[in-house]
Amino acid sequence: MGKLVSVLTGIFGADRLQMAEDVVQEALVRAMQTWPYQGIPKNPAAWLMQTAKHLALDLVRREKRFHEKQPEIIAQVEGRAGEGEDLPVLEGEIKDDRLRLMFTCCHPLVPPESQAALTLKTLCGLGTAEIAAAFLTTEAAIAKRLTRARQRIQEQKIPFEIPSGPELASRLDGVRQTLLLLFNEGYKASTGESLVREELCVEAIRLTTLLAEHPAGNQPRTHALLALMLLNGARLPARVDSDGNILRLKEQDRSRWNREMIARGIMHMGRSAAGDEISEYHLHAGIAACHDTASNDASTDWRQILSLYDRLVEIDDSPVIALNRAVAVANVHGPAKGLEAVEAISDRDELSSYYLFYAVLGEFESQLGNDLVAASHFHRALHLAELKSEQAFLARRLRECEGRLKSQPAPSRGSL
C-alpha cells in the first residue's frame, strides 16, 4: 500500500495525498471483490497500481484545474505503467518514491508530532491503533494528528520533492525517527496475531540503507541508526519458539542469530564513530552490540550496558528508557536495586497503561521471592497485553508464581 500511495502522490502531487490513500484503499477493496471469482492476476501489484491510477484519474477529471494540466498528468500516468520500472531521477536525488514521500511528510510546515504519524500511516500502512501504541497515546489523538497533517500539506501545497542543502538536513531527524518507529513496530508489533512483523523491519532497514548511501544522509547518526536496526534485527529468527511464544534473550538459541547482519551492524557502528557526536542511536546500537557479541547470557556485559543507559537517560529522559535502565540495574546490582530504580522514575504515571511496566515489576518481585506481589503485577500486565504471544508468556509467569504460592506450607496458627 505504501508504495502505491507514494507513486500516486508523485504523479498527482502531495496536496492530493488523501486522494491517493483513498483510491489505493478502493483498489484493494475491488481486488478482494473480484480476485476470488476472476482469479489472482499474474502481476497483482501492477493490477492494483493500474486500478488505483484509473480511479485517481476519474476523480481529478472532475476538478477544474485538471483541464489545464491534462496532458502533463496523463503523460506521467502513462510513463509509470510498470510497477517495478526504473524511474528517471535527477543527479543526487534519492531514488525511491517511498523515501521521497517520507521527506515530504517530514516538511517543517507539518507539526513535528504529526510527521511520524502521517508517515507510518501513509507509507507503512500502520493503523491508528498501532501508531497510538508506538507513541503511548490514544487512537483519537493520532486521528487528529493525521487530519491536521493532511490539511497542512494541502493548504500549504507542499511539493513532492527532495529539498537540498540546509532544508534537507533539517528534515533528516524526523525521517530517522520515523524509520526507527517503523522498525520498532516490526520488531515488537503492538497489535495482531504475531509478535514480529519481519516485513516492516526489512523495509525499515532497506530505507535506512538507502538514506545512508545518499550524500545528504551519509552521517554518523544515520549509520548508528542502521547499526541499531541490523544488530537488533539479527536476533529476529530466535525471538519466538515454534508456537510463536516469546523467548527472552537468555532463552534464545544464539546459533540462530544472523551473523551476517551482526557483522554489517558492527561495520556501520564503525562508520558512525566519525566525528565527536554521540546520539541516542549510537548508545542504543552499543547496547544491542553488547547482547549480540556475548557468547551466552551469562557472559553479557551488563555493567557496560548500564553505563550506556546512564548516558542515554541524559539524552532521552523518557520513562520507557528509564524502565529499561532499571532492568540493567537489576542485572548488575540485584532486583531490589532494580525496584528502587523503578521507584525513581519521575514520570512513572505515563507507564500506567504499559504492560511491560508491570511485567518488569513482576520479574523483580519474583526474583526476591515475593510471589504474591509478583502475581498481582503479572495479572495486571496480562490484562494490558494485546498480543497472544505476550499474553501466553505472562500467563505462564503468573501460573509459576501461583504454583509456588500453593506449594508453600500453611502458616502455623500457634497456641490459643
pLDDT reading at 218 higher than 50: yes
Distance CA 352, CA 81 (A): 50
% residues pLDDT > 90 (the chain): 41
Q: Return left, alpha or beta for 412; rule: phi > 0 is left, psi -120 to 50 is alpha, else beta.
A: beta
Instruction: Note the pLDDT of residue 84.
Output: 41
Lowest mean pLDDT among 3-7, 270-274, 411-415: 411-415
Grid cell of 356 as nine digits: 511491560
**pLDDT tens digits, residue range 355-408?**
999 999 999 999 999 999 999 999 999 999 988 889 999 999 999 999 998 887
Distance CA 192, CA 212 (A): 31
Query: Residue 46's Cα: distance from chain center in Å?
Result: 27
Q: Cβ distance 179 to 204 under 8 Å?
A: yes
More confident residue, 372 or 115: 372
> Is residue 9 very low, low, confident or very high in pLDDT (cuts 50, 70, 90)?
low
**pLDDT tens digits, residue range 257-307?**
999 999 999 999 999 998 888 999 999 999 999 999 999 999 999 999 999
Give the closest residue to 86 by CA, choosing from 76, 96, 75: 96
Q: Give 42's contacts (C-beta < 8 A, 6+ positions apart).
A: none
Q: At what angle do helices 2-12 and 17-38 cross, to 10 degrees?
A: 130
Query: How large is the average pLDDT for residues 191-198?
Result: 77
**pLDDT tens digits, residue range 160-173?**
666 666 777 778 88
Side-chain half-sphere exposure of 14, counting CA atoms within 13 A: 28
Q: Give 84's contacts (C-beta < 8 A, 6+ positions apart).
A: 45
CA dihedral for 111, 312, 206, 291, sign (positive or negative): negative
Distance CA 320, CA 345 (A): 9
Lowest mean pLDDT among 39-48, 62-71, 156-165: 62-71
Grid cell of 78 as nine digits: 502513462
Q: What value does the mean pLDDT of the chain take? A: 82
% residues pLDDT > 70 (the chain): 81
pLDDT reading at 327 higher than 60: yes
Q: To which residue does cell 488523501 refer?
A: 18
**pLDDT tens digits, residue range 72-97?**
555 555 554 444 444 333 333 445 66
